[in-house]
């Protein structure tokens, strides 16, 4: 069995017939559709990125504030013990 | 094939000398083409000029590799769509813009065959084949001789056939062929010589680089 088929075509296709397959409007339509989809996809990725950024910064802030709070509580507790000891 | 048959076929000459020179673009043509490409990069609507200019060539190239008019129209449309989508990445590297389009078209055809897992087809224009094989002979090739030629071409590896087709049916230079098929220039030459060696077994081939 050959690796490919060889066929002989009687005539070269005429320019007019090839012209009938031309459809630049369709190519442009598909291009606009795909570029619109690409834009939506990029926007979605950007949105997800910003949401993730907001979420992480929020959780980081809450962690920091929690840590501050517990530190404050610790220092106030230590001050309380010290004053009690002094008394 | 008997020895006498082979000897009879050897009388026939495949003349490739008239196809020695690759299609050449003048500097003015290249400048004009670059201007069109730059226009199209700025506005996709200007791509229409390039589409009109190369549609027929790309269509014929794909048709020769598929032998299916509807499929060719689809792949052709896909080729121009891909070109339009990636036009901003295109850079002039001393080769005509059409070489870039042929490369995309060749990839689209390969993708189609890989997806469908079908046997590849080369549909060659009879008149072009006769242009190559009849030029030095008074008499036409007999059907048996044409069959032998087809069989010889059929037995060539597909990658060799690709180079042969681009060189003699598309008049592409080795530099362009190597770019279109993404192979080295010496590799392209080697493949063509392999094809000519096979043809020389059955026919007298007139071809000097």
DSSP secondary structure of B115-183: HHTPPEEEEEEHHHHHHHHHTT-SSPPPHHHHHHHHHHHHHS-HHHHHHHHHHHTS---HHHHHHHHTS
Q: CB distance from A16 to chain B under 8 Å?
A: no
Model confidence pLDDT, tens digit, residues A37-58: 999 999 999 999 999 999 999 9
- Beta-carbon contacts of B52 under 8 Å, excluding residues fewer than 6 positions away, are A22, A24
A75 pLDDT band, cuts 50/70/90, is confident
A84 pLDDT band, cuts 50/70/90, is confident
Give the three-class secondary structure for B21. coil
Burial grade of B131 (CB within 10 A; 0-12, 13-18, 19 or more):
middle
* pLDDT of B19: 47
What distance in Å separates residue A23's CA from the closest CA in chain B?
8
Contact A6 B128 (CB under 8 A): no
Q: What is the mean pLDDT of each run of 10 residues along chain B (209 residues)?
A: 48 54 71 90 88 94 93 95 93 90 95 90 83 57 79 88 88 91 92 85 68
**Least CA distance to B120: which residue of chain A?**
A4
Mutate to test the interface with A, among B40, B46, B63, B101 (most CBs of A within 10 A): B63
Measured CA distances, B21 to A68, B57, B70, B102, B170 (Å): 81, 18, 32, 19, 11
Give the three-class secondary structure for A4. strand
Nearest CB to A8: which of B51, B76, B126? B126
Claim: this prediction has a pTM higher than 0.90: no
**Least CA distance to B124: which residue of chain A?**
A8
Model confidence pLDDT, tens digit, residues A8-47: 888 888 899 999 999 999 999 999 999 899 999 999 999 9
Q: What is the CA radius of gyration of chain B?
A: 19
């Amino acid at each position: 069995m050959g690796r490919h088929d060889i066929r002989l075509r009687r005539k070269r296709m005429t320019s007019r017939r090839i012209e009938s397959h031309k459809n630049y409007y369709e190519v442009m339509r598909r291009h606009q559709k795909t570029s619109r989809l690409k834009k939506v996809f990029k926007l979605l990725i950007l949105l997800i990125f910003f949401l993730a950024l907001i979420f992480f910064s929020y959780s980081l802030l809450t962690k920091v504030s929690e840590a501050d709070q517990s530190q404050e509580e610790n220092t106030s507790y230590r001050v309380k013990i010290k004053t009690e000891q002094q008394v | 094939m008997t020895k006498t048959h082979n000897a009879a076929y050897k009388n026939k000459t495949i003349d490739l000398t008239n196809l020695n020179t690759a299609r050449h673009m003048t500097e003015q043509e290249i400048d004009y083409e670059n201007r069109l490409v730059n226009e199209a990069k700025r506005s996709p609507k200007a791509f229409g000029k390039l589409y009109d200019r190369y549609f027929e060539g790309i269509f014929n190239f794909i048709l020769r590799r598929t032998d299916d008019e509807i499929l060719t129209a689809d792949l052709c449309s896909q080729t121009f769509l891909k070109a339009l989508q990636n036009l901003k990445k295109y850079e002039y590297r001393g080769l005509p813009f059409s070489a870039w389009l042929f490369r995309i078209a060749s990839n689209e055809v390969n993708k189609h065959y890989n997806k469908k897992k079908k046997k590849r087809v080369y549909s060659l224009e009879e008149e072009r084949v006769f242009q190559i094989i009849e030029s030095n002979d008074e008499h036409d090739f007999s059907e048996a001789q044409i069959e032998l030629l087809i069989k010889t071409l059929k037995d060539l590896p597909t990658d060799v056939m690709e180079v042969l087709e681009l060189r003699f049916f598309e008049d592409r230079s080795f530099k362009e062929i190597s770019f279109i098929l993404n192979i080295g220039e010496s590799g392209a030459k080697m493949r063509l010589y392999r094809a000519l060696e096979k043809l020389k077994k059955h026919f007298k081939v007139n071809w000097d680089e």
